[in-house]
Structure formats: C-alpha cells, structure tokens
Amino acid sequence: MVTADLQTVKATRVAQAKAEAEALAAAETLALMELLEELQRSIAKRELETLKRISTMSNSRQQMLGNLFATYRTIETSIGNVTRTADKATAILQITKLIRPNGAIITPSRFLKTTKVTIPKEADGWGLLEW
C-alpha cells in the first residue's frame, strides 16, 4: 500500500513537472513570436528607432533600412523557418513586396529578399534580434 502511494506521489510530481515545462515552453514560444511580429510591424511602419531598440544591427543594415524606408511607401514581409534550441532561436525574414510612392510594385532583389535573424536565449527571456 505504501509503495503504491509513493508511486502515485511520484507520478503526480512527474506530471506536474512536465506540465510546468510545457507551460514555460509555450510562454517562451509566445514571447518569441511576439518579438518577431514586432520586427515585422516595425519594418512595415518604417520605425528605425524601434528596430534599433529591439535588435542589434550593423551600420550598413541601418543605412539599408533607412534607404528602403525613404524609397518605398510599403514594405511587406513574412517570417518563416522559425527554429528553437536551448540557447537561441532563428528565423528567416523575407521582404516579399516593395511599393514605391507612385504605386509601382518592386520585387526585392536576392540581396534584400531573405535575411537570417538570430535571437539569443537569455536568463530572463529572449535577447535582442541579431541580423
């Protein structure tokens, strides 16, 4: 009887630990997706200052974004291939469509079209986007 009770307690603790781990993973995934959505929104709204706040990027990337924001009234993006490991997440940012102020639709060059984004895992959540 005591052995059965101990097994029940152990099974309950294992189930609770598993549920807690799953809840944490779900919360981390949600936070990651919100960060990637903020990246997309900031690009769509052409908010370079927000992009500087949520990411680390080179001066050349900042200049490229400044040029895109000055040249195009609309920048459409998508996020794909999101993967997670214990210490980071990666995603592919794709610029899918550029629209000039005169309404001309431009297909992004291969150079602009696809960018890998890395998000390091930190003790308190996700770090700054690196791209």
The CB density around residue 116, as the number of other CB atoms within 10 Å, is 11
Q: Which CATH class is domain 2-130?
A: alpha beta
Extents of the domains making up the chain: 2-130
Length of the chain: 131
Residue pLDDT, tens place only, 8-46:
767 677 667 676 666 667 888 999 999 999 999 999 999
User: Are the C-beta atoms of 96 and 107 separated by less than 8 Å?
Assistant: no
pLDDT at 9: 66
Angstrom distance (rounded) from CA 54 to CA 33 = 13
pLDDT at 27: 84
Could you give the C-alpha distances from 60 to 29, 35, 56, 63, 65, in angstroms and in order? Answer: 30, 22, 12, 5, 9
Count the alpha carbons within 13 Å of 87 in the hemisphere toward its beta carbon: 0
pTM: 0.82
CB burial string 39-61: b at 16+ within 10 A, e below: beebbeebbbeebeeebebeeee
Q: What is the mean pLDDT of the chain?
A: 89
pLDDT at 25: 75
